[in-house]
Structure 1
């Protein structure tokens, strides 16, 4: 089950990755005409409307349906994505307010309000999952000659539509219950005000290793439970100083706290390993500050020093609590980095966003000295502090292979060899920062050899499942591995 949920989390990264484009378009548009929201400037209106076409709840749900169907299908074929769209359209049409009123022979006013929110990310994800199941089951089915045209991949959308008829019938009864529960959960947390924001921030970070933080995020960031913090913040439909409270507190952590933690880990690294630690910490720290992509840095120490990661999660919760308490708000389209902070600075609902910078500077000091104290006090094995027997000897040939020609080809070759090569590797996939690999025998994996390439970390998630944390360049490493496997 955990493996399946992790694959779902990875698949969700595809539609979520679309958000930066919307953020850039809308951010520039609002920067040009933040008071008129495009009414005073044609170019601003053009950009704002283009961006809102992506962030609109219904359209985002379609992206989820397509992205999940594609990501969960066994060979990432386009017919799976088409089936995800079919699944979403069938369900949302059958369970729209008008259709339900017709099925019940009643007035629209008497229809459960839950059906007004049927075009949401939850239904999009469910549609994508069912479509992927239909693809994996029927994409190679051969029908009799008379129906041969509909065999194989052409059969998948048809079977998906049929499956969604059954799913829609079940959702007719289940969705109002699920919706009410989600709303109650969201209202329960939001009802706690700043404390709720802090609890959300804490559990958001704790779930990062499993990839299940996307499920938690969807409740607060999107329109699953009516909170829709991201959509409302960028659309300006909310309360100033309140809308954005589930986003603002991340900026001090990602832009300042984690880079300061990286500096602390560099300063506490062993002298002979400082150069290697500096390379990793500099790249990961800059990614966290500029783009808000924190996984390369977090995975660098979460398994080496899990207690330190819990401290990081607690500090994240504290940051969200403080920002929400003082009503300092800013928003992001993808993650809480420098780019999104600048783009959201002049949005109508941004409230004293400059105070998040002040807060961030304070958190940078806290992160640096607290991390440095804990690392030294408890001799935590952060990057550069591993025991000597775990440290790879300098391999001149290995270094040369990754620094000449295509630097990713040498790195990919070493990683693939460390995984056991063709004899041991059964599948290779990747998400935003991680290679996700299935192997026959985990004992055949040489983790030391893989770490010699300088990757931030390795995560064994099952008897045959291993993740190699590469960073934002993971796609290029994965591409090189696929070339080797062909």
Structure 2
């Protein structure tokens, strides 16, 4: 997996805690509105709302540690979340000022100020990622019998707690250097006037993912460099008298944030909604409306920013650049305004009474312009580069990673289509009493059963399976096509609700699934030609040492024994599925041809080792465009076979294939076979 793909995986995991933030932001904004002078000290309702919201916002870093650990764990288990929390506690405790003072034997007042900011988003995300990786690697480790109580999931928090001691030791020396470097950088750009204000704003946004924007803020907002950019709400006259407030200068590092937070980011949210797939828009609308309202009303932008900063980093860089431009414009025009909480509607209304504010109302038309700019720039960039912003990923029923639960009840009534089908497949293999394990490859269910003789082939085929393969008494494979992973996930969801009875012999409670009909001879003709997806030697599909492929139950085509590491798209179309272990992918052409490229046999058992993806699901590719990269030395040494089938999975929709290749083929160049319409 490349760096961008990994960041996108982190971004998807972050949606778990990010979904909580809008509610907290709105609670705090209303509380601040009710009691702007003393922030709850003189109003019980305001205090209640502010404390309720801040309980979440103030602990955002630990929410990230827990959410990322859970979201990136392979089976979405609560033990992974607990591991993230344990790791965060160890790091933030060991790197707290009191602990650093004790460990390094220095007076508490000499501990670097950086350690007062150790509880931040960056540390939370890093701890979450490390915890998830340790969980995925060691959650199934079995210890000797005497220590068996600590095996598996119980072992992971113990390992992480020790690992975080090492991480803390590194942070004790790195963190102050990074923090102090940012403060020094801020002191230099302060001298650049309006241009410096724009540069500051750019880096303020860029540093938010790692939580280091606080170091810059302390320079420009809290007197670290001898200035006080906050116009001391309702005390502006006193601020001028003491010499800390300078009309036309004080507030220039904050004013330009109002157009971005109140107008620009909501424009981005609208673009993300419009770019979502139609079937996902209702879900995306809920998230975007809440996040956009939080940004507009309270100025809290994290719910919106974290929804795209990792899945589409280019958008976040554009957002940072536009923020810098906005702050530069406001500072240059002397449209001065400040905020005590954040640059939302609440603060804009409050600062309008401040003597230090200068032409603050001009920030509103500036904001309307930035709303249009954000909408146009985000929508163009998302469409042009096919960025996987929320709602553009392909929906997978029953997959918890998208944040939506499709389960309804425990009776089977009201289930999603995938769960209903999954329930019938469970019945066809002898019910939950006979089913002991569920896995999937890209076209087949890989099931462990107590007795394979209990599997009802006829029922499975009525449900749409093209074949049933018994490897031994406990292992069965059912060929269901490219929905295999969806069905497997739904089967796990159904089993979690309760037991499922076996189907009666040769009878299914489901109506027969309509099978695709071949087109008439009158419409025959070559409708597509595939090129070799990898360089190597051609192997006839009948000679593939796997019954599912050799019997053409998965589809018709050819196989290749690869001699090169790069796997390319055999035809232009859309990558509709890449298996999570990256060993296979499905591609659909514009005219409806569904191609399965499966690198090696039983390579799913390698857990992704030896494979890395070069594109993401949903990408539109051209024939010959690289899709996967392989470590052939590792795969040849560890895979059962590297013979790689390339088949048309919906061949029943067409009249067959004409084989064109034999001997050696070259990826992206040699014609492999034709598909007859």
> TM-score normalised to the size of structure 1?
0.59
Is the partner of 2:258 in helix, strand or coil?
Answer: coil
Which of 319, 327, 337 is the equivalent residue of 2:336? Answer: 327
Q: Which residue of 2 aligns with 1:43?
A: 45
Cα offset for 1:141?
Answer: 0.9
Map Cα deviations across residues 433-464 of structure 1 (whole Å, 9 max, x no partner).
Answer: xx996445556245787xxxxxxxxxxx9535
In 1: Cα distance, 2:82 partner to 2:64 partner: 12
Unaligned runs of 5+ in 1: 205-212, 267-275, 334-339, 385-405, 429-434, 450-460, 470-486
* CA distance 1:309–1:124, change in 2 (3 Å): closer
CA offsets 1:109-151 (integer angstroms, 9 cap, x no match): 3333333332233222222222112211111111122211111
Of residues 3, 6, 31, the one that matches 1:4 is: 6
- Between Structure 1 and Structure 2, which shows a larger proportion of strand residues? 2
In the TM superposition, residue 381 of structure 1 has moved relative to its aligned partner by: 11
Match status 1:463 vs 2:614: yes
Q: What corresponds to 2:656 in structure 1?
A: none
Other-structure match for 2:135: 135
**Cα deviation, residue 84, structure 1:** 1.3
CA distance in 2 between partners of 1:29 and 1:96 (Å): 30
2:146 aligned residue:
146
Relative distance call for 1:167 and 1:8 in structure 2 (3 A) is same
Alignment of 1:22 with 2:50, yes or no, is no
* TM-score, length basis structure 2: 0.44
The aligned counterpart of 2:55 is 53
Structure 2: state its 5+ residue gaps.
Answer: 232-250, 296-302, 385-413, 422-441, 444-480, 490-574, 593-611, 621-677
Check whether the contact 2:263–2:367 (CA below 8 A) recurs between aligned residues. Answer: yes
* Mapping for residues 95-134 of structure 1, pairs under 5 Å: 95-134=95-134
In 2, are the aligned partners of 1:86 and 1:161 still within 8 Å (CA)? yes
Q: Give the structure with the larger helix fraction.
A: 1
Q: Residue 167 in 1 paired to residue 167 in 2?
A: yes
CA deviation map 1:375-407 (0-9, x unaligned): 9xxxx99989xxxxxxxxxxxxxxxxxxxxx9x
Equivalenced residues, count: 376
**Are 2:212 and 1:216 aligned?**
no
CA–CA separation in structure 2 for the residues paired with 1:147 and 1:260: 54
**C-alpha deviation, 1:69, in angstroms:** 1.6
1:147, 1:316 → 2: CA distance? Answer: 55
Higher relative contact order (CA 8 A, sep 6+): 1
* d(CA) in 2 for partners of 1:195, 1:328: 17
- Cα offsets for 1:252-272 (capped at 9, x unmatched): 65378669999xx99xxxxxx
Q: For the structure 1 residues 186 and 145, does the alpha-carbon distance in structure 2 shift closer, same or farther, using more than 3 Å as the test?
A: farther
Summarize the alignment of residues 436-447 of structure 1 with structure 2, pairs less than 5 Å apart. 438-439=578-579, 440=582, 441=584, 444-446=587-589
Matched residue SS, 1:444: strand
Would you say 1:254 and 2:245 are equivalent positions? Answer: no
Residues 74 and 136 of structure 1 are in contact (CA less than 8 Å); yes or no, is this contact kept in structure 2?
yes
Superposed CA RMSD in Å reads 5.4
* Larger CA Rg, structure 1 vs 2: 2
Question: Partner residue of 2:635?
Answer: none
SS at match of 1:465: coil
Contact kept? 2:142, 2:151, Cα under 8 Å = yes
Kindly indicate whether the alpha-carbon contact (under 8 Å) linking 1:12 and 1:64 is maintained by their aligned counterparts in 2: yes
Counterpart residue number, 1:358: 365
Name 2:75's counterpart in structure 1.
Answer: 75
Alpha-carbon distance, 1:43 to partner: 0.9
Tell me how far apart the structure 2 counterparts of residues 193 and 80 of structure 1 sit (CA, whole Å).
48
2:122–2:211 Cα contact (<8 Å) kept: no
Instruction: Determine the C-alpha separation between the residues in 1 that align with 2:92 and 2:381.
Output: 51
Between the aligned partners of 1:32 and 1:118, the Cα distance in structure 2 is 32
Instruction: Provide the secondary structure at the position in 2 that maps to 1:74.
Output: coil
Distance (Å, rounded) in 1 between the aligned partners of 2:77 and 2:219:
31
- SS in structure 2 opposite 1:466? coil
